[in-house]
Structure 1
Amino acid sequence: MARIIIAVDGYSSCGKSTFARALAARYGYIFIDTGAMYRALTLYVINQGIVNSPSRIVEELDKIDISFKFNSQLGRSEIYLNGANVDSRIRSLEVSSHVSTVSAIPQVRDKLVALQQFMGRDKGVVMDGRDIGTVVFPQAELKIFMTADPKVRAMRRYNELQGREPFEEIERNIIERDHLDETRETSPLRRADDAVVLDNSNMTVEEQMEWAEQLMSGIRM
């Protein structure tokens, strides 16, 4: 069967990565978490103390190398920033608070979109993010747009962080990120016209996979 590109877009903390990773494993595809790429870049500029200086960020872009390496013990890929594993450091509330602003810088998006397109050049990928079906791969054979109630999403992130951050602060951050993602000038978050909507507010991962498998069965691959 011909391999395709599966674009998974949607709001933050919808479980896009969990869903996309499971979908990739089910069909033997490569999973690419583009949100992690923007988070890694944001972590870099935070560490450099330039997170509030777009011009400095642009000047630093050529010094930033982002890649994925497969961890056989975990059975999944982890993200590396300039050769260092930062997989466990990019989900902090500090990174979450700045990632939408950093991601809105056109040169940042240009750099990472080009890298994402290179990664998916041979197809057989499940790529999740905010603009995969609209900007990165508008020609993707399958586009899924994920959403969920903000309170549900905040609880998921709260559990992911094991209660290390206040629930109210996480919920506020999610709502702010939604607004920033939807209103930024460059590649705003929006559903592609041909995307299928998945509201997983009340769905388990298993139920989402059953939904996806029914969808995939109708696609000629």
Structure 2
Amino acid sequence: MGTPVLTIDGPSGAGKGTVSRLLAKQLGWHYLDSGSIYRSLAIALAKQDVRVDDVAMIVKIAKAMVLEFECDEGLVVKLDKEDITAQLGLESTGNAASIIAALPEVREVLLQKQQDFRQAPGLVADGRDMGTVVFPNAEKKVFLTASSEKRAERRYKQLKEKGIDANLASLTKEIEERDRRDRERATAPLRMASGALFIDSSDMTIDAVINKVLDFIQ
């Protein structure tokens, strides 16, 4: 048996990040936040003033960049030893990430980059296609979801706590649209991996979800 991998896939807002980080910490395993991979590359390109259509240079930088994920107190992402966590959520970062994510040559390099996170004693991988594309042979797979209404409520609460004005109905519609795009996209669509444990976290606490996953893997 190789190094064990636990994949946790599902739509945005289902609690994947929190659950995955806490599980990785509890198990003493490494953690991969796949959603940050493309954003990290976008930041690396901006630092070197590389255009998003310069495929050869993007591939070169993607191969060379060194990423670390630390989840002691929340998630800290380091690019070549520099903390870039605060830059990951910028709109400019997201826009550039969505452009480069459509490039097949870049996806191929970053697929390998993600697979390289599989190191002893184990890995918890969080994303949308971890169990179907990146680690199809993972020993344990989870599909974590929640109703669009519940995910919108969680997002609404987060924004309000940050002092950002938000509309619950609009958030629900945005989440449903994103779900549809993720399910229907041609490359690595969002779907539950064969043999995965299905968890609907709509009416569950974080602790209840973690305990259910621990029971499943142990």
Q: Distance in 2 between matches of 1:165 and 1:63?
A: 37
Q: Which runs of 5+ in 2 are unaligned?
A: none
User: How does 1:58-97 map onto structure 2 within 5 Å?
Assistant: 59-64=57-62, 65-68=65-68, 70=70, 74-75=72-73, 78-92=76-90, 95=93
Q: Which runs of 5+ in 1 are unaligned?
A: none
Tell whether 2:36 aligns with 1:40.
no
Aligned partner of 1:117 among 115, 118, 122: 115
Structure 1 length-normalised TM: 0.79
Aligned partner of 1:140 among 138, 145, 166: 138
Q: Distance in 1 between matches of 2:79 and 2:35?
A: 14
- The residue aligned with 2:213 is 212
1:99–1:12 Cα change, 3 Å? farther
Q: Distance in 1 between matches of 2:151 and 2:100?
A: 22
1:108–1:173 Cα change, 3 Å? farther
- The residue aligned with 1:179 is 180
1:173–1:24 Cα change, 3 Å? same
Report the Cα offset of residue 100 of structure 1. 5.1
Task: Number of aligned residue pairs: give it.
Answer: 212
- The residue aligned with 1:156 is 154
Between 105-114 and 204-213, the greater mean CA deviation after superposition? 105-114
SS at match of 1:88: helix
Q: Is the 8 A contact 2:10 2:143 kept in 1?
A: yes
SS at match of 2:32: strand
Tell me which amino acid in the other structure corresponds to 2:6: I
Tell me which amino acid in the other structure corresponds to 1:200: S
- The residue aligned with 2:30 is 30
- The residue aligned with 2:204 is 203
Q: Is the 8 A contact 2:143 2:196 kept in 1?
A: yes
1:18–1:199 Cα change, 3 Å? same
- The residue aligned with 1:19 is 19
1:116–1:134 Cα change, 3 Å? same
Report the Cα offset of residue 179 of structure 1. 2.5
Q: Distance in 2 between matches of 1:159 and 1:57?
A: 39
Structure 2 length-normalised TM: 0.80
Report the Cα offset of residue 139 of structure 1. 0.8
Report the Cα offset of residue 149 of structure 1. 1.3
Taking only the aligned residue pairs, the percentage that are identical comes to 31
- The residue aligned with 1:9 is 9
Tell me which amino acid in the other structure corresponds to 1:177: R
SS at match of 2:86: coil
Q: Distance in 2 between matches of 1:123 and 1:136?
A: 18
Report the Cα offset of residue 38 of structure 1. 2.5
Tell me which amino acid in the other structure corresponds to 1:91: G
Tell me which amino acid in the other structure corresponds to 1:153: R
Report the Cα offset of residue 128 of structure 1. 0.6
- The residue aligned with 2:125 is 127
Q: Distance in 2 between matches of 1:156 and 1:175?
A: 14
